[in-house]
Amino acid sequence: MTAHIECADLVRIFSAEGVEVQALQGLTLSVERGELTAIVGASGSGKSTLLAILSGLDVPTAGRASVAGHDLLAMGTRERTLYRRRTVGFVWQQTARNLLPYLTAAENIAMTLSVARTPARTREPRITELLGLLGIEGMRDRLPAQMSGGQQQRVAIAVALANEPEVLFADEPTGELDEGNSQVVFDAMRAVNEQLGVTVLIVTHDQDVSAQVRRTVQIRDGRTSTEVLRSTRTDEFGVEQHHAQEYAVLDRVGRMQLPQEYLTRLNMRDRVRLELEADHVQVHPTTEDEQ
């Protein structure tokens, strides 16, 4: 079975006035159905470009990408429109990009339902259901300007979920929120993931957020570099133990990135020496003679 979100050797190059910027340089990523994954990375590492491609707003220069069975490189205009309408939903960092300022919460959701040609009579129950799911029933008839940042983002999630998407993308959904509100919004997304089984991919800077998801993918220089998998085990004393293990990502042809911290500490550069052991590979810094 193929993964729900599958990217292989994804490349995206922006060019202007003879200058080329490689935002993605052969990124590979695989997310299973129903997974909640965080993508972290420094500014300019290519996170937002990846999300724009996955949400069907941008097209990669090369590589393969598919979401819920849709080949993102081969989609025509019509399929792309339907893909945005039915398959994916997303939440951006700025409220202005999520909600129309002159529509109330209910109207913003209704607008999305209207785009998908949902009959007018079924809109009302769906809106009530979504607002209830996200715990913002009271915001129904308020304009975005009359809500707090956290409330706005929860309305944005409701809007994104309006047409029952299989995948929810979120680009820094808590970027403009304080700690309390961030937690509320993240909890809402986790609830959506757990209760509705929607695959969720969050791009974030927020350590608190990334620390709460099972899988965190780190992007560096347009490639996935490491992954952290978290698990919870109950020890022999009945106490919950949280484990976090960092993994390097190996691509199809066997390339991997060593964490920057390792390189600095062991003064590794240019060349390293590999030694194959029975069950692992050793990486050694080269001596001055070898240099």
Partner 1 sequence: MTRRSRLSTAGLLLRHLRSGVGASLLVALLIAASVLAVALAPRALSRLGTAELRHELGQESPALLDLTGIGRIGIAAGLPASASLDDVVGETDRRIAEIRERLPRPLRTHLGPVNWVATTTKADGILPVTLPLKLSMKLGADLRWRDRVRFTDGEPPAPWTGDESAPTVPGEAPAAPPSIPAAISADAAKQLHLKVGDLIGYSPAPVLVTGIYEPVNPDDAYWVHQVNLTRVTFETEQGELTTAHIIVYVDPLSMRGLTTDFQTGQLSAYLEVDPTGMSYSEAAALQEQVHQMQASQIELPMFGSLNFRSGLPDAIDRVVARVTSASALLALSVSGLLGVLLAVFALGVQSVIARRRPALALAAARGAGAVVLRGAMVLEGLLVSLPGAALAVVVAAVLLPGDPGPVGWILPAAIAVAPAALFGVMTSPRQLREPRSDLQVRSRSRVRWIIEVAVAGLAVLSLILLGRRGLVASSAAVGVDPLLAATPLLLAAAVCAGVLRLYPAPLRLLQRVFRRRSGPAGLLGAARAIRDPALGFAASLALVVGISVVVFTTVMSSTVRIGLVQGSVDTVGADARITAQRLDETVLAQVRRVEGVTAAVAVPMVTGVEVGIDSDTTQVLAVLTDTAAMHEIRPDLPDLSARDADGAVPVLVSTDWADHITGARLSVGGKPLLERGTIGQNALPGATRHFVYLDSSFASDLGIPVDGAERAFLGLSPDTDPAEVASEVDDVVTAAQPPQYRGLVDVVTARQLLDDIRSSPTVAAIEAALLIAAAASLALTMLTVVLASVAAAAARNRLVGVLRILGMSPRQLRAIQAWELGPVAITAVVAGTALGLVLPLIVTSALDLRPFVGGDTQPPAAIEPLWVLGAVGAFALVVLVAGVIAGILGRRFAPAGTLKMGEG
Residues binding partner 1 (CB under 8 A): 16-17, 55, 57, 77-78, 81-86, 90, 94, 96-107, 110-112, 114-116, 120, 123-124, 127, 140-143, 146, 159, 163
- Given the complex with partner 1, which of 79 and 227 has the nearer CB atom? 79
Question: C-beta of 169: minimal distance to partner 1 in Å?
Answer: 11
CA–CA gap between residue 63 and residue 65 (Å, rounded): 7
Question: C-beta of 105: minimal distance to partner 1 in Å?
Answer: 8
- Given the complex with partner 1, which of 76 and 254 has the nearer CB atom? 76
Q: What's the chain's length in residues? A: 291
- Given the complex with partner 1, which of 105 and 228 has the nearer CB atom? 105
Question: C-beta of 244: minimal distance to partner 1 in Å?
Answer: 34
Which spans in 203-271 are helix H? Answer: 207-210, 260-265
Residue 48, token pair as written in the block? 């937002």
CA–CA gap between residue 152 and residue 239 (Å, rounded): 37
CA–CA gap between residue 38 and residue 218 (Å, rounded): 8
DSSP bridge partners of 31: 5
Q: Which residues of 116-149 are buried (b: 16+ CB within 10 A; e: fewer)?
A: eeeeeeebeebbeebbebbebeebeebbbeebeb
- Given the complex with partner 1, which of 52 and 228 has the nearer CB atom? 52
Question: C-beta of 106: minimal distance to partner 1 in Å?
Answer: 4
- Given the complex with partner 1, which of 17 and 270 has the nearer CB atom? 17
Do the beta carbons of residue 256 and residue 248 sit within 8 Å?
A: yes
- Given the complex with partner 1, which of 83 and 186 has the nearer CB atom? 83
DSSP 81-100: HHIIIIIEEEE-SSHHHHS-
Question: C-beta of 139: minimal distance to partner 1 in Å?
Answer: 9
Question: C-beta of 45: minimal distance to partner 1 in Å?
Answer: 20
Question: C-beta of 143: minimal distance to partner 1 in Å?
Answer: 8
Instruction: Give the start-end residues of each E strand in 92-222.
Output: 167-171, 199-203, 215-220
> What is the torsional sign of CA 124, 129, 131, 136?
positive
> Tokens 């003064």 — which residue?
267
- Given the complex with partner 1, which of 134 and 249 has the nearer CB atom? 134
Residue in 276, 258, 255, 275 with CA at minimum distance from that of residue 267: 258
